[in-house]
Structure 1
Amino acid sequence: MESNTDDAEQKEENFSSPVMDRNPSPPPEEGDGQEAEDADAIGDTVYSKHWLFSTLTRLIHMVSELSEENPEAQVKLTDDDEEDLCKVWDMAMDKDVARFLQEFKAADILLGVISKSRCPRLTEICVGILGNIACFPDTCVTLSQKEDLCAVLLLLLGDADPPTLLETSRLLLTCLSHKDVCSLWIQRIRQQTSVCPNLCFIMSSSTNTDLLEKVGDLVDKLFDLDEELMKTWITDKPQDKRGDESDTPLDLTLCLLEAVKQLRSEKLNGIEIYLHIFQLITTVEEGCEIFAAPDGPGKAVWDFVCDVVCKDLCQQNDLEVALHEQKSTLVQAFAVLQALYRCQDQWKSKADPNIDLIWIILRLCQHRSENKEAATDDQLQALFEITSEFLADLCIHIPKETVVDLVNKRYLTRETCLAAANSLLPSYKPSFQHLLAALSETDPKLADVMTTQFPD
């Protein structure tokens, strides 16, 4: 059984096990009439207090017995136990049940179970239940104040079980999304030095795309909330002590790159998360220095993002479709490319003027000039502004050979030349003049069209 959930940022998001297509029906109850049933109900729900008590009590006894019998060996839940625990997991989606579990000290019970558990599925379910409890602001605050529990959850990022890692990442992301406790969690994450290397290890080694996407969400949220934490993580070289070699240094940016490559092969939508992380890194001086280093990851990230834009997001004949479906991803991609292009002076091999990339930018300029209604779309406007500025950077250094290739491939035509001029003028006049000068040497007729339309 696997667990599915909506995005963690939604205020009342819930982690549930798809074992159930709906919330479980209440178990059979004993009692005398309607009054007894009402007394046993949790809040306004039809869920039974008695059944929940007995299930959690049975869980405590079960874990104690298993840990005594097999203190080291992994164990497996019975089908009946797993089904009942998954019912609790689903029930915790309800606000009244979540509050009742909190009042019943369920967080302390689950902490004890997690600490003693030798069953990956049991650990996953317990963290999932906690994740549901944390979805509501008041219960999240109470849960977040339990220091021992929070410390164990952060250490679980070093677990070897992907489903447990997924539920732990979801839980942490949920807590970071609650404004009343996010600063408390950031402080704990700063203090727990294993968090960064554990996340790096997951990103560099996992093939589970759901996990990689959720870990990316977690890193993105952390970097968005705490710039100083981001600076520390990208400049430090955390040590990975899991492998055969001792103290293997991990580079966060390279781990991010490995994760996004894995996502590209199976889950293209998850790429936007990692592109935004790269974009955040380029907003600080430390990040630009890392990407500008001769032996740094800048060129590798540039090559990857160029390939994604040209082959996955904007193929030759689908610009309209790409703008409709991928505009937010394109904004992040071009923001990263522009920042990396400005970092390339010390790279051992410079970023080649990618003909197909320039063609896509020219088509975006043309789309902007021909579709005035795009002015009402904030994301398209952001994309057009970034690509215009990027085009200006490219034209300042554009070699004559590149212009020849653009003309020969019919990428530079009367329409795209005028669209490029419209994008460059009046803000980027020197870039326009460089493009015009290169064009005058390769195709005087196109140069005349531009000077006729823009005589100044």
Structure 2
Amino acid sequence: MDEEQAGLNGSRSRASHSHSSPTHTDHTPDAGTLLTCSVDTPDPVSHEHIFQSTLPSNDHNSLTGTQLHDTTPQINEHDVVTEDTLSKLYQDDSIGDTVFSKAWVLSILVEIINSVDVRGNPCSIGNEVVSDADVMSCSEVGDHKVGGCGDGRGVELEEEFEGRVCALWDSSMNSDVAEYIHEQGGIDLLLGAACRTDQPRFTEICLGIIGNLICSQEICLNSFKTAEQTRLILEFLKDTDSGVLCQVTRLVQTCCSYEELQSTWLPQIMESKFVKDSLLFILQGSTNEDLLASTSVLLDHLLNASEQLLRGWVDRQLVEAICEAAQQIRDSNFEVSCSLVAAIHTLTSEQEGVACVLLCADKVCAVVNDFLAAVEQLDSQSTCITTLTAACSLYLTLSTEQRVLIYESNVKTTLRNIRKKVNQSPRTKQLVSLISRILT
């Protein structure tokens, strides 16, 4: 599968890969209109577990079992509207101290519900037709079918609708708005919609909003603590759209960053037959910088979170995939380069990882050389001492014969310059010692 077919070339994502930084889009609604929207709330439909939010509903306006609570004040035609009344209405409809309207948020959530096929009609994947019961059955990573209802390539969102849901994505960066969306059952609702749509951009937006909501530790811990929820999210790694993959890798990294959830998430990731292959597919084939960034951060985090996962994943293919991604990024994103160098170094904590690095010595050297050249250009190396130490350790992992590669490059000069710039302190003592060993 080439990169264009895989959908990994163009940058569709608006996301930051860090779980502490909510995704930002550029469709912020006009504050003057936020408090004037009205909404007809749907009736609730009960369901036994989260995946049933993707099953047929008895109510055309309901997608999940969570009721949307319309708490916005009402005025009838006989009421006398005074300035005090309008002020109270404004305060009652505002979310916290923001200018965002409860009615506006509810109206967008209802529109999201109504935008997907809530009648339970079969979804299409290529020329196949699958039912809801088969939605999660695509297990071959080579097919790279979406974890929801199809690859949806060529399907475009209606522009005005996209603008409205992106406005909700923007607003979900606000902690008060995020809490309000969560209170309305927004995570179940958005997951259900993402599973049912054939439109990758819509899936990306739904997952992006969820990613913003779970920047709140409380929301995340309350929302993703079961194996079934974990499997449902991981299914989206089968998608081939860069925007969707960017959001789901960011979402998985956020959940795994909370220690309380690792006992649920890490076993599911290790048992999965496709998670590692999906990450390799991205690292080896993507030219999308945002996607490579979120995937690199996720990989580095996973390798450090579980020794069992590290032992199960380490192989030559993984080292080569990391090197491919690093060569793609080169000096365009220093933080991603740090994550990739750190990931290679983490692999050497296992004997098999050392063997794999030795087998890929030329590629590893090229990655480290590029990284050191980027470090040399920094005004201060204080922010990357740990990764810089890891990079130098990688050099010393190589055999004497393989170190000839170092001397054929400008690395020795680069290392001397870095050693001069690094402030002598207990924190840099190990680094200076490693550099001196390399130069001797």
TM-score by length of 2: 0.72
Change (3 A) 1:265 1:388: closer
CA distance in 2, matches of 1:5, 1:223: 23
How do 1:265-304 residues align onto structure 2 when only pairs under 5 Å count?
Answer: 266-292=332-358, 296-304=359-367
Q: Is the 8 A contact 2:236 2:248 kept in 1?
A: yes
Contact 2:253/2:298 (8 A) holds in 1: yes
For 1:390 and 1:208, locate their aligned partners in 2 and report how far apart those are by CA, in whole Å: 34
Q: Are the equivalent residues in 2 in contact too, given 1:2–1:18 (CA < 8 A)?
A: no
Q: Of the candidates 107, 120, 124, which is equivalent to residue 54 of structure 1? A: 107
Deviation for aligned residue 1:364: 5.1
Following TM superposition, by how much is the alpha carbon of 1:88 offset from its aligned partner in structure 2, in angstroms?
1.5
**Distance apart, 1:230 and its partner CA:** 1.2
Quote how far apart the aligned CAs of 1:233 are: 0.6
Q: Deviations over 1:220-260 (max 9, x none)?
A: 0111111221111114xxxxxxxxxxxxxx81111111111
On the 8 A contact 1:23/1:91 being kept in 2, the answer is: no
Say which of 91, 104, 108 aligns to 1:38: 91
In the alignment, the residues of structure 2 paired with residue 120 and residue 157 of structure 1 have an alpha-carbon distance, to the nearest angstrom, of 13
Amino acid at match of 1:299: D
CA distance in structure 1 between the partners assigned to 2:284 and 2:30 by the alignment: 36
Query: For the residues of structure 1 that align with 2:122 and 2:236, how far apart are their CA atoms?
Result: 24
3-state SS of 1:181 partner: helix
Map residues 172-211 of structure 1 onto 2, 5 A cutoff: 172-211=252-291
Distance 1:201 1:69, change over 3 A: closer
1:103-145 per-residue CA deviation (whole Å, 9 max, x = no partner) reads 2222221122111110011000000011011100110011112
Identity of aligned residues (%): 24
Q: C-alpha root-mean-square deviation of aligned residues, in Å? A: 3.2
* Distance verdict in 2 for CA 1:58–1:308, change over 3 Å: closer
Distance between the aligned counterparts of 1:264 and 1:71, measured in 2? 39
Larger radius of gyration between Structure 1 and Structure 2: 1
Listed one character per residue, the Cα deviations across residues 253-295 of structure 1 (whole Å, up to 9, x for unaligned) are 1111111110016434421111111111112222112223xxx
- Determine if the alignment matches structure 1 residue 258 to structure 2 residue 330: no
Aligned residue identity for 1:255:
A
Number of aligned positions between the proteins? 358
1:239-254 paired onto structure 2 within 5 Å:
251-254=317-320
Moved more, 186-195 or 320-329: 320-329
| Structure 2 residue 71 is matched with structure 1 residue 17 | no
1:331 matched to 2:397? The reply is no
Cα offset, 1:303, TM superposition: 4.0
Q: CA deviation at 1:162?
A: 0.3
**Partner of residue 358, structure 1:** 412
Do the aligned partners of residues 25 and 174 (structure 1) sit closer, same or farther apart at CA in structure 2, a change above 3 Å counting?
A: farther
After TM superposition, list the pairs within 5 Å mapping 1:29-428 onto structure 2. 29=37, 31-32=74-75, 33=85, 34-64=87-117, 68=121, 71=124, 74=152, 75-235=155-315, 251-264=317-330, 266-292=332-358, 296-306=359-369, 308-309=371-372, 312-314=374-376, 321=379, 323=381, 330-339=388-397, 341-342=398-399, 351=405, 353-354=407-408, 356-363=410-417, 367=420, 374-376=423-425, 378=427, 380-391=428-439, 395=440
**When you count helix as a share of all residues, which structure comes out higher?**
1
Q: Which amino acid aligns with 2:169?
A: W
Deviation at 1:335, TM superposition (A): 2.2
Larger RCO, structures 1/2 (Cα 8 Å, 6+ apart): 2
Q: CA deviation at 1:89?
A: 1.2
| Residue of structure 2 equivalent to 1:411 | none
Distance, in Å, in 2 between the alignment partners of 1:275 and 1:66 is 49
- Structure 2, unmatched stretches of 5+, are 1-10, 39-73, 76-84, 127-151
Deviations 1:5-52 (A, max 9, x none): 555243xx3122133399896241464423333333334433222222
Runs of 4+ in 1 over 6 A off after TM superposition: 21-24
- 8 A Cα contact 1:23 1:87, kept in partner: no
Cα distance between partner residues in 2 of 1:83 and 1:132: 17
C-alpha contact (below 8 Å) 2:337/2:371 kept by paired residues: no
Maintained 8 Å contact 1:131/1:167: yes
Contact 2:13 2:242 in 1 (8 A): no
Give the 3-state SS of the residue equivalent to 1:18 in structure 2.
Answer: coil
* One-letter amino acid matched to 2:189: I
Distance 1:323 1:386, change over 3 A: same
Normalising by structure 1, report the TM-score.
0.69
Whole-Å Cα distance in 1 between the matches of residues 418 and 192 of structure 2?
Answer: 57
Q: Which amino acid aligns with 1:207?
A: T
2:119 & 2:26 partners in 1: Cα distance? 27
Q: Is the alpha carbon distance of 1:356 and 1:83 closer, same or farther for their aligned partners in structure 2, counting shifts above 3 Å? A: closer
AA paired with 1:162? S
SS in 2 for 1:118: coil
Unaligned runs of 5+ residues in structure 1 are 236-249, 396-456
Flag the 1:191–1:157 CA change in 2: closer, same or farther, 3 A. same
The one-letter amino acid of 1:288's match is V
For the 8 Å contact 2:286–2:292, the answer to whether it is kept is yes
Cα 1:135/1:19, change in 2 over 3 Å: same
Structure 2 residue matching 1:47: 3-state secondary structure: coil
CA contact (8 A) 1:24 1:87 kept: no
